[in-house]
A = this chain, B = another copy of it.
Amino acid sequence: MQNRIKEFREKKGLSQGKLADLCNVSRQTINAIENNKYDPSLQLAFKLAKTLGVTVDNLFLNGEEN
Protein backbone atom coordinates (compact mmCIF):
# COMPACT_ATOMS: atom_id res chain seq x y z
CA MET A 1 0.00 0.00 0.00
CA GLN A 2 1.39 3.40 -1.05
CA ASN A 3 1.38 6.39 1.27
CA ARG A 4 2.03 10.12 1.11
CA ILE A 5 3.59 10.48 4.55
CA LYS A 6 6.90 11.87 3.34
CA GLU A 7 5.10 14.38 1.15
CA PHE A 8 2.86 15.73 3.91
CA ARG A 9 5.61 15.50 6.52
CA GLU A 10 7.93 17.69 4.47
CA LYS A 11 5.10 20.08 3.73
CA LYS A 12 4.88 20.56 7.49
CA GLY A 13 8.63 20.95 7.85
CA LEU A 14 8.94 17.90 10.06
CA SER A 15 11.84 15.45 10.20
CA GLN A 16 11.22 11.73 10.51
CA GLY A 17 12.35 11.91 14.11
CA LYS A 18 10.05 14.79 14.96
CA LEU A 19 7.05 13.09 13.39
CA ALA A 20 7.98 9.93 15.27
CA ASP A 21 7.98 11.84 18.55
CA LEU A 22 4.62 13.42 17.81
CA CYS A 23 3.17 9.98 17.15
CA ASN A 24 4.98 8.23 20.02
CA VAL A 25 6.75 5.74 17.79
CA SER A 26 10.39 5.26 16.93
CA ARG A 27 12.07 7.03 14.04
CA GLN A 28 12.73 3.65 12.45
CA THR A 29 9.02 2.99 12.33
CA ILE A 30 8.39 6.19 10.38
CA ASN A 31 11.32 5.48 8.10
CA ALA A 32 10.19 1.91 7.44
CA ILE A 33 6.65 3.01 6.61
CA GLU A 34 7.79 5.84 4.32
CA ASN A 35 10.01 3.37 2.50
CA ASN A 36 7.25 0.79 2.24
CA LYS A 37 8.86 -1.86 4.38
CA TYR A 38 5.47 -2.50 5.94
CA ASP A 39 2.15 -0.79 6.59
CA PRO A 40 1.41 0.90 9.91
CA SER A 41 -1.22 -0.42 12.27
CA LEU A 42 -4.66 1.16 11.96
CA GLN A 43 -4.07 3.08 15.16
CA LEU A 44 -0.81 4.53 13.92
CA ALA A 45 -2.39 5.32 10.56
CA PHE A 46 -4.99 7.46 12.33
CA LYS A 47 -2.35 9.08 14.52
CA LEU A 48 -0.23 9.93 11.48
CA ALA A 49 -3.20 11.34 9.60
CA LYS A 50 -4.24 13.47 12.55
CA THR A 51 -0.71 14.76 13.10
CA LEU A 52 -0.28 15.59 9.43
CA GLY A 53 -3.71 17.16 9.19
CA VAL A 54 -5.16 14.86 6.56
CA THR A 55 -7.62 11.97 6.48
CA VAL A 56 -6.54 8.35 6.52
CA ASP A 57 -8.20 7.93 3.15
CA ASN A 58 -6.06 10.72 1.73
CA LEU A 59 -2.83 9.66 3.39
CA PHE A 60 -2.88 6.17 1.91
CA LEU A 61 -3.18 5.27 -1.75
CA ASN A 62 -5.31 2.22 -1.84
CA GLY A 63 -4.21 0.57 -5.09
CA GLU A 64 -5.67 -2.64 -6.46
CA GLU A 65 -3.66 -4.86 -4.13
CA ASN A 66 -6.98 -5.85 -2.61
Complex contact B43–A41 (CB within 8 A): no
Complex contact B46–A60 (CB within 8 A): yes
Q: How many copies does the complex hold?
A: 2
The answer to whether A47 has its CB under 8 Å from any CB of chain B is yes
Complex contact B57–A43 (CB within 8 A): no
The answer to whether A40 has its CB under 8 Å from any CB of chain B is yes
Complex contact A1–B66 (CB within 8 A): no
The tally of residues in A whose CB lies under 8 Å from a CB in B reads: 18
Q: A50 — nearest CB in chain B belongs to which residue?
A: B66
**When each residue 31-51 of chain A gets 1 if its CB lies under 8 Å from chain B and 0 otherwise, what string results?**
000000001111101110110
A40 partner residues in chain B, CB cutoff 8 A: 42
